[in-house]
C-alpha cells in the first residue's frame, strides 16, 4: 500500500468523520485509530477474525470497504493488497478528486483532445523545418529521479525536448508526480527514461522519426519493446491508465494506446 493509497484512505476516513488529521499519506497513530473506529462501525461487513489482522492488513481492508461503499468492485474484504484492490483504489482516488469515476477501462478509447494544437506528422517538416538542422531544445526538469534506461547509473536532470512542447511536458510530469509519488513511479519503472531528442529515421521506415524534432519520449524500453502488444508491454497494464490519461489530456499520443505497438513511445504529434 503506497502513499497515494494511504491518502485515498485518509480522505475516506475524513468523510466518515473518524479522522481529522492531514491527508499526508502517512499511516500514523491517528490514521490507525480512525481505521479501527471505521471498521468497528462497519463490523457486519467484515469477515470473522478481521479484528485480529495486523494494522497493515486492517488498513487495506478499510480501503476495500471504502471502495465497496462507493460501489467500486474491489473483491472480498480480505485486507490483501492485490491488483484488483490496487485498481479499485485508483478508481476511488479519481472519484474523490474529480467527483466521478473514470470511464470503464475496457470501453476506453484514447481521447483525441488537442488543446495545444499539436501538428500532424505530415505537417511537421513544413511547420518546423527539416530535422537535418537541430531543433530548438530545452531541458524540462523531472520532479522524480530519472535514470537512463540503457545505463541506470546515469541520472539525467531532465528531458531535452523541443521548446514548443516544454510547458506541456512540465505540466504532465508534475501531475504524474502528484498522482503517483516518486516511490510508486519508481515501482512502475517510470524512472527508466528511454530518450527524447534523437536525429534519426523511423525504425523500419524512411520518414523522420518524431524524435528527430524532440517531440517524442520513450519510457522503459526494455519492458515495452517496439513490436510488443498489450499482452506483453508493461505500460499497457491497468495501473498506467492515469499515466496515459495525463498525456492524452495534453494532446500527446501513445502509439501503444492508439496502435498497440511501441508502448514505450509517446509524442506531441497527432497521427
Tell me: does residue 175 bind Zn ion (CB under 5 A).
no
Determine how β-strand 253-254 pairs with β-strand 265-267.
Answer: antiparallel
Q: Which stretch binds Zn ion (CB under 5 A): 43-51, 72-80, 86-94, 257-265?
A: 257-265
For residues 79 and 131, which CB has a smaller minimum distance to Zn ion in the complex?
131
Minimum distance between the CB of residue 200 and Zn ion, rounded to whole angstroms? 10
B/e letters for 136-161, b = 16+ CB within 10 Å, e = fewer, are eebebebebebeebeeeeeebebbeb
Q: Which residue is nearest to Zn ion (CB)?
A: 265
Minimum distance between the CB of residue 139 and Zn ion, rounded to whole angstroms? 18
For residues 218 and 220, which CB has a smaller minimum distance to Zn ion in the complex?
218
Total number of residues that touch Zn ion (CB under 5 A): 3
For residues 202 and 209, the answer to whether their CB atoms sit within 8 Å is: yes
Minimum distance between the CB of residue 134 and Zn ion, rounded to whole angstroms? 18
Minimum distance between the CB of residue 176 and Zn ion, rounded to whole angstroms? 18
Q: How many CB atoms lie within 10 A of CB 97?
A: 13
Per-residue cell: 163: 521548446
Q: Judged by CB under 5 A, which of 16, 265, 268, 269 binds Zn ion?
A: 265
Backbone angles phi, psi at 58, to 5 degrees: -70, -30
User: Which parts of 67-175 are beta strand (E)?
Assistant: 137-141, 147-148, 158-162
For residues 133 and 203, which CB has a smaller minimum distance to Zn ion in the complex?
203
For residues 184 and 192, which CB has a smaller minimum distance to Zn ion in the complex?
192
For residues 10 and 218, which CB has a smaller minimum distance to Zn ion in the complex?
218
Minimum distance between the CB of residue 216 and Zn ion, rounded to whole angstroms? 5
Tell me: does residue 162 bind Zn ion (CB under 5 A).
no
Rounded to an integer, what distance in angstroms lies between the CA atom of residue 22 and that of residue 95? 19
How many Cα atoms occupy the beta-carbon half-sphere of 135 within 13 Å?
Answer: 29
Minimum distance between the CB of residue 262 and Zn ion, rounded to whole angstroms? 6
For residues 91 and 173, which CB has a smaller minimum distance to Zn ion in the complex?
173
Rounded to an integer, what distance in angstroms lies between the CA atom of residue 247 and that of residue 270? 12
Minimum distance between the CB of residue 182 and Zn ion, rounded to whole angstroms? 24
Q: How many CB atoms lie within 10 A of CB 44?
A: 5
Residue 113 CB contacts under 8 Å (≥ 6 apart), including other chains: 248, 249, 250, 251
- Report 214-233 residues binding Zn ion (CB under 5 A): 216, 218
For residues 218 and 248, which CB has a smaller minimum distance to Zn ion in the complex?
218
Contact residues toward Zn ion (CB under 5 A) are 216, 218, 265
Amino acid at each position: 500500500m503506497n502513499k497515494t493509497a494511504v491518502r485515498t484512505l485518509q480522505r475516506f476516513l475524513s468523510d466518515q468523520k473518524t479522522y481529522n488529521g492531514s491527508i499526508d499519506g502517512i499511516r500514523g497513530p491517528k490514521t490507525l485509530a480512525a481505521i479501527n473506529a471505521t471498521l468497528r462501525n462497519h463490523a457486519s461487513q467484515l469477515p470473522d477474525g478481521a479484528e485480529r489482522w495486523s494494522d497493515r492488513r486492517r488498513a487495506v481492508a478499510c480501503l476495500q470497504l471504502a471502495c465497496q461503499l462507493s460501489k467500486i468492485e474491489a473483491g472480498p474484504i480480505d485486507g490483501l493488497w492485490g491488483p484488483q484492490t490496487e485498481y479499485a483504489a485508483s478508481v476511488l482516488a479519481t472519484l474523490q478528486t474529480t467527483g466521478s469515476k473514470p470511464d470503464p477501462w475496457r470501453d476506453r478509447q484514447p481521447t483525441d483532445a488537442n488543446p495545444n494544437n499539436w501538428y500532424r506528422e505530415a505537417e511537421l517538416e513544413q511547420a518546423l523545418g527539416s530535422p537535418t538542422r537541430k531543433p530548438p531544445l530545452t531541458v524540462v526538469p523531472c520532479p522524480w529521479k530519472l535514470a537512463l534506461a540503457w545505463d541506470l547509473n546515469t541520472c539525467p536532470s531532465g528531458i531535452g525536448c523541443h521548446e514548443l512542447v516544454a510547458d506541456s511536458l512540465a505540466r504532465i510530469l508534475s501531475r504524474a508526480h502528484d498522482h503517483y509519488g516518486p516511490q510508486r513511479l519508481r515501482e512502475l519503472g517510470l524512472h527508466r527514461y528511454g530518450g527524447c531528442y534523437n536525429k534519426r529515421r523511423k525504425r523500419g521506415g524512411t520518414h523522420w522519426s518524431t524524435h528527430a524534432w524532440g517531440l517524442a519520449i520513450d519510457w522503459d524500453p526494455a519492458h515495452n519493446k517496439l513490436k510488443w502488444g498489450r499482452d506483453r508491454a508493461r505500460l499497457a497494464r491497468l495501473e498506467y491508465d492515469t499515466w496515459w490519461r495525463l498525456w492524452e489530456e495534453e494532446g500527446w499520443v501513445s502509439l501503444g494506446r492508439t496502435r498497440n505497438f511501441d508502448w514505450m513511445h509517446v509524442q506531441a504529434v497527432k497521427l
